[in-house]
Amino acid sequence: MDAMSMGNYGVYVWSCFGLTLVMVLFSYWRARLRHKRVYRDIEVRIKALEERE
Amino acid sequence: MWKFFHQLASPPHFYRLAAVLSPWLAAPGIALIAYGVYAGLFLAPMDYQQGDAFRIIYVHVPSAYLSMMAYMIMAVSGGIGLIWRIKLSHAVAAAAAPLGAAFTFLALATGSIWGRPMWGTWWEWGDPRLTSELILLFLYFGYMALRAAIDDTAKADKASAVLALVGVVNVVIVHYSVEWWSSLHQGQTLMKKGGPAMDPAMLYPLLAMILGFTLLFGSLLLRRVRTEVLFRERRTRWVREMILSPEGS
Amino acid sequence: MTDAHKEQPSIFSGLAATARRDLLLAWKRPGDVLNPLFFFAMVCTLFPLAVGPSAEQLEFSGPGVLWVAALLATLLSLNSLFGSDFEDGSLDQLLVSPQPLPVLALGKTAAHWLTSGLPLVLVSPILAITYRMPMSVVGVMMLTLTLGTITLSLLGSIGAALTVGLHRGTALLSLLILPLAMPVLLLGANTVSLAAGNDVYTTGIWALGAYAIASLSLAPYATAAALRISNE
């Protein structure tokens, strides 16, 4: 419990570490999502072209 | 040597290599951060002036460092792309900007949260580092806005590279002028950033965090560059073959 | 050798011709010069209306307000730097000219400063007096504004060249230039404040001068590169 309260600075310290975790996870998620989207768009376009031929 | 670089810069090769390399950077990065967080929060002794609030530096300093490094990467790779016309380096610059902005925002947010118990205010204009960091965030915004405003990718690459290079000169001028300015207004000596006076038990977790953040950043950057390369090469044969091949990727 | 020399006009004449042309255009369209000046005066009027007419407050905030207003007025005038040339096609003429492009860009920037920065400097004492600025400080303010607006015109020319021909260029231009202009504002306004407080202010003047010289020698190249990129 003592470790959590951080000498009454707990809120500030934990919110900073929490925010950092959120930001890193968000960046990772964004990178993944964008890759999926770009890949899918290209796939759809190429498959459509392929069928037309 | 040249052949190696040439091969590295070839899009299909890079696309495959980045996928392999990214987890290999992330794994040691996460391990170092795990050690840094644990040691920084629980093992490092309390700072005699700032108490436990000083532990915020374990996330603030790495993000502030990365915010500058991302800008340097952006400007240098933009410059390389401008001079030697290497397409890959423009993709690196494009991918680095949003990441750099994210870490700049993180440095500002953690600095501000640190300031609340230390200065009694969420924002202290007198602190040169926070002010410089804020201007850096605006530079990122300008860079990304310029990129977004130009439809033609090749044009956007070159224009934003010029802006990033001008911005590097500006970052240096901002740094010195803001220092001068805050010295006029009796800016307090604030966050202690490393230095020889630091206890090793405090310093080692910080170094681990900086290295860990850098590796994680490298891993994220590789991922983003990979997507950028795929998008830019969407009309080429290798992308077509890769997508039509049964194993895909 | 001498014939070839005769055929090729000197670099200086290229610079002078570009600047003269823009000055003539400004003379024909005085609105382009006057509008930023009116804007400057109006922004300076906004502050006393917003924060109250107390002499103490005006004296204290005067340097900052004048400088912010000058920065915004310069920003306002930047759009016309390459915008009209882009529309009527004369920018293409500049690009294919045998003269070095950085010199021509410098000529255009010089004309821009003469039609936007210089009038601001000349008008600023009138507004400074309404802010109860002592005469000795007004001199320092005019000096900082002179050096500062030169730098702003040069930095602005880079931004204007990067955004030329883009839709919604105005807002984007402000977004690009303001972070670059912040050190100029900081140095300029604080130097005037120091002078008003009877402090040593020479550091700020030297820094502004150094910044002006550095941008004078580097910005034309960036502007030229940006113009080539924007007009590919």
Chain C residues near residue B142 by CB distance under 8 angstroms: 175-176, 178-179
The domain made up of B28-220 has a fold known as Four Helix Bundle (Hemerythrin (Met), subunit A) (1.20.120)
pLDDT value, residue B187: 43
Q: If interface means Cβ-Cβ distance under 8 Å, which residues of chain B face chain C?
A: 82, 135, 138-139, 141-142, 145-146, 149-150, 154-155, 158-159, 162-163, 165-167, 169-170, 173-174, 177-178, 180-181, 184
Over residues C3-25, mean pLDDT = 76
Chain B residues near residue A7 by CB distance under 8 angstroms: 46, 51-52
pLDDT value, residue A25: 94
C-alpha–C-alpha distance, residues B34 and B27, integer Å:
11
pLDDT band at A22 (very low <50, low <70, confident <90, very high): very high
Neighbouring C-alpha atoms within 13 Å toward the C-beta of C105:
28
Which amino acid does the sequence have at B65? Y
Provide φ and ψ at A19, rounded to 5°: -60, -40
Select the more confidently predicted residue: B126 or C142: C142
CB contact under 8 A, C179 and B170: yes
- Chain B interface test: which of A39, A45, A53 (most B C-beta within 10 Å): A39
Do the Cβ atoms of B59 and A16 come closer than 8 Å?
Answer: yes
Would you call A17 an interface residue with chain B, using a CB distance cutoff of 8 Å?
Answer: yes
pLDDT value, residue B1: 60
Partner-chain residue, chosen from B42, B52, B63, that has the shortest CB–CB distance to A9: B52
Q: How many CB pairs under 8 A join A and B?
A: 91
Chain A residues near residue B55 by CB distance under 8 angstroms: 6, 9, 13
pLDDT value, residue C92: 83
Express each pLDDT in C19-51 by its tens digit: 888 888 888 888 888 888 999 999 999 988 888
Express each pLDDT in C50-99 by its tens digit: 888 888 888 888 889 999 999 999 998 888 888 888 888 888 888 888 88
Dihedral sign for Cα atoms in the order C175, C180, C183, C184: negative
Cβ-based neighbours of C174, under 8 Å, separated by 6 or more: C75
pLDDT value, residue A3: 65
Burial B19-48 (b: 16+ CB within 10 A, else e): eebbeebbeebeebbebbbebbbeebeebe
pLDDT value, residue B198: 67
CB contact under 8 A, B145 and C230: no
Partner-chain residue, chosen from C175, C183, C186, that has the shortest CB–CB distance to B141: C175
Closest CA to B221 of B2, B3, B14: B14
Tell me the pLDDT of chain C averaged across its residues: 87
How far CA B137 is from CA of B78, B98, B101, C71, C99, in Å, comes to 18, 10, 6, 20, 38
Chain C residues near residue B145 by CB distance under 8 angstroms: 172, 175-176
C-alpha–C-alpha distance, residues B122 and C58, integer Å:
28
Provide φ and ψ at C104, rounded to 5°: -65, -40
pLDDT value, residue B2: 66
pLDDT value, residue C12: 81
pLDDT value, residue B188: 43
> Following DSSP, what letter does each residue of C45-83 receive, concatenated?
HHHHHHH---HHHHHHHHHHHHHHHHHHHHHHHTHHHHH
3 state SS of C15 = helix
CB contact under 8 A, B135 and C179: yes
pLDDT band at C1 (very low <50, low <70, confident <90, very high): very low
pLDDT band at C7 (very low <50, low <70, confident <90, very high): low
Task: Classify residue B43 by its DSSP letter.
Answer: I
C touches which chains (3+ CB pairs under 8 A)? B
Question: Which tokens is B46 given?
Answer: 């309390």
C-alpha–C-alpha distance, residues B110 and B112, integer Å:
5
pLDDT value, residue A20: 92
CA angle C117–C118–C124, rounded 5-degree value? 90
Would you call A23 an interface residue with chain B, using a CB distance cutoff of 8 Å?
Answer: yes
Chain B residues near residue C225 by CB distance under 8 angstroms: 82, 162
What domain range is C132 assigned to?
2-230
C180/chain B closest Cα distance in angstroms = 6
pLDDT value, residue C23: 87
* Closest residue of chain C to B148, computed from CA coordinates: C172
C-alpha–C-alpha distance, residues C134 and C29, integer Å:
35
- Chain C interface test: which of B173, B181, B185 (most C C-beta within 10 Å): B173
The domain total for chain C is 1
Select the more confidently predicted residue: C12 or C3: C12
Per-residue pLDDT of chain B (249 residues; tens, 9 = 90+): 666 667 777 888 888 888 899 999 999 999 999 999 888 888 877 777 777 778 888 899 899 999 999 999 999 999 999 998 888 899 999 999 999 999 999 999 998 888 888 888 888 887 788 888 999 999 999 999 999 999 889 899 999 999 999 999 888 888 888 888 877 765 444 444 444 466 777 888 889 999 999 999 999 999 999 999 999 988 888 888 888 887 654
pLDDT value, residue C14: 81
* Closest residue of chain B to A49, computed from CA coordinates: B240
